[in-house]
Amino acid sequence: MRVLGTIARGVWSLSHPMPVVSVLPAPIAIAPSDTTLLERFAAGERTALDDLFRRYRLVAYRVAYRLLGREADALDAVQDGFVKALRNLDRFRGHSSFKTWLLRIISNAALDIGRQRKRDARVPQGPADNPPEQFGPSGLPPADTELVRADLREKIDAALATLPETQRQTFVLHVDGELSYREVADTLGISIGTVMSRLFYARQKLKSLLADQITP
Amino acid sequence: MNALPPDEFSEEMLAAYADGELDALDRTRVEQWLADHPEMMDELRVQRELSASNAALWDAAEPPEPNAATWAVVRQEIEAELCPLGPASGDQSRIHRVAGWLLGSLAISGVAAAIGWVAFASTLRQPAIESHKPTEVVRRPETGLETAIAPAPRLISDSPDLLAAFAVLPMSTDDDVILDRVPRLCDGCLPIGRHPVPGMLELASVDDVYLEEVNPSPAWPTSGGPKMTTAPGDAPMIFAAKPR
């Protein structure tokens, strides 16, 4: 009705010299909720997977990357996590958000991969390939700023690796997963007091390890 | 969270307050507590600065984002893994799936027949080739430890010592750590290495361990059980062997 009314006013303005300005509001695309997407996915709609993947791939990747420190491993964890989450949708009760549920599965998948990597590291291997993040699509070495960034990343990864696994997972879910204390507690099935404690001690340790990087 | 008595107020809670993560009730409690303890305002400032500097550091070291092609591959692989379990969506997909199964079955039958033929043909030819090869015998190297390792344990509930039959407990391969019994060794130590054991491994120090949560145990003595706190360094961690 509003559109028809606006068009009518527009026609009216053509037949009159008096300037009439009518502004049509731009159509607002309302993104479907996670629940809607999951229902559509369960009904076999392929685009629902696209939407879910696009919505959460980056946050899932960041969490996995911080837990593993390598792009290829992080992508494996993202893939495993999405597959497990979507395959076991019947176990998702909807008490928490899909994001927290997905991030729990992905962080657990990342920790599994990390453990597997440690076991594999016992077997002597040849020199490691250049990690993909060191070279962009052009195949050229990264720019100076990217080198600085990579160096910093390496220091953070090393510092994170010294934390106990539970602290690391809690810290990464909060910082990189952008989950609140309450969401982290729901994700890991622990009390919010435990989240506070883990984050506090994780920060204290990271503060001492990264003292030269932190400039308050 | 909002049921914490004031005596359990902790630095962790102050950090949560600095993060803006407390609910209204706890926020009010912390603010009242800060009003009574103005000297803690400095600690609050430190916590806020730490949160801000951490956030800046994390932003500066953001992980490298995969490019669109990489994402597309991951997306395809997810779908490839999910597809066999994917739900049906209408008659057309059902027809496609049945057709796929038929074609797949035909293809598998063809491949199986081809493999069978190749295997059969190779067995026909093999004796002529193999007859000229010397017979190889693979021998497992003798380690000398095999006699010391007992067979799989028989767990008998009324036995006073379930491990009595074991001289050596094989935990992993011969090259890994072996847990052994060493007479006259102090309780709570883990011997490492092979015979003769050269030394002991310190399992952990108070700097390595922090206590996260403790549930009271009915096994604790009536005097109140062990005294434990959550702050590192407040209590020694003791590894004690069970009395036999």
pLDDT digits (tens, 9 = 90+) for B82-91: 875 444 443 4
The confidence band for A198, taking pLDDT boundaries of 50, 70 and 90, is very high
To which H or E segment does residue A157 belong? helix A144-161
Q: Judge: A75–B74 Cβ closer than 8 Å, yes or no.
A: yes
State the CB neighbour count (10 A cutoff) for residue B200: 15
pLDDT at A55 over 90: yes
- Max Cα–Cα distance, chain B, nearest Å: 96
What's the confidence (pLDDT) of residue A94? 74
B81 Cβ under 8 Å from any chain A Cβ: yes
Give residue B35's identity as a one-letter amino acid code.
Answer: A
Task: Enumerate the residues of chain B whose CB falls inside 8 A of the CB of residue A206.
Answer: 54
Nearest to B230 among A166, A191, A197 (CB): A197
Residue B121 has φ and ψ, to the nearest 5°, of -65, -40
Structure token digits, residue B116? 């069978």
| Interacting residues of A60 by C-beta distance below 8 A, sequence separation 6+ | A77, A78, A81, A82, A102, A103, A106
What's the confidence (pLDDT) of residue A6? 38
For residues A144 and B178, the model is more confident at A144
DSSP B137-164: ---PPP-S-TTTB--S----TT-S-TTT
Structure token digits, residue B182? 């060493």
In a domain, A8, yes or no: no
Continuous H helices in B61-218: 68-82, 90-130
If you average pLDDT over residues A67-71, what whole number do you get? 91
Nearest to B74 among A43, A79, A166 (CB): A79
Kindly give the parts of chain B with pLDDT less than 50. 1-6, 85-98, 100-101, 122-157, 171, 178, 234-244
User: Min CA distance, B227 vs chain A (Å)?
Assistant: 19
For residues A82 and B123, the model is more confident at A82
Say if CB A104 and CB A58 are below 8 A apart. Answer: no
Chain A contact probe: residue of B10, B29, B57 with most A CBs at under 10 A: B57
Closest residue on chain B to A82 (Cα):
B78
How many domains would you assign to chain A? 1
Residues B223, B227, B229, CA angle at the centre, nearest 5°?
150
Quick: pLDDT tens for A97-138. 899 999 999 999 999 998 888 777 655 444 344 444 433 444
Continuous H helices in A88-143: 98-121
Say if CB A175 and CB A203 are below 8 A apart. Answer: no
Q: Judge: B66–A207 Cβ closer than 8 Å, yes or no.
A: no
Q: B199-201 and B168-169: which strand pairing?
A: unpaired
Among A59, A67, A62, which Cα is nearest to A169's?
A67
Q: Judge: B13–A137 Cβ closer than 8 Å, yes or no.
A: no
Q: How far apart are CA A191 and CA A181, in angstroms?
A: 10
Q: How far apart are CA B219 and CA A59, in angstroms?
A: 45
User: Min CA distance, B192 vs chain A (Å)?
Assistant: 18
User: A50: domain range?
Assistant: 32-121+142-209
User: Min CA distance, B13 vs chain A (Å)?
Assistant: 7
Report the percentage of chain A scoring pLDDT > 90.
33
Q: Judge: B50–A207 Cβ closer than 8 Å, yes or no.
A: yes
What's the confidence (pLDDT) of residue A75? 95
CATH number of the domain that residue A167 is part of: 1.10.1740.10
> Which of 185-244 (B) contact A at CB < 8 A?
210, 212-213, 230, 232
Q: How far apart are CA A71 and CA A73, in angstroms?
A: 6
In a domain, A200, yes or no: yes
Quick: pLDDT tens for B109-163. 666 666 666 555 544 444 433 333 333 333 333 343 333 444 444 444 455 566 6
Structure token digits, residue A43? 């009904």
User: Min CA distance, A94 vs chain B (Å)?
Assistant: 20
Nearest to A44 among B67, B93, B210 (CB): B93
Of the listed ranges A147-156, A187-196, B13-22, B170-179, the one predicted with least confidence: B170-179
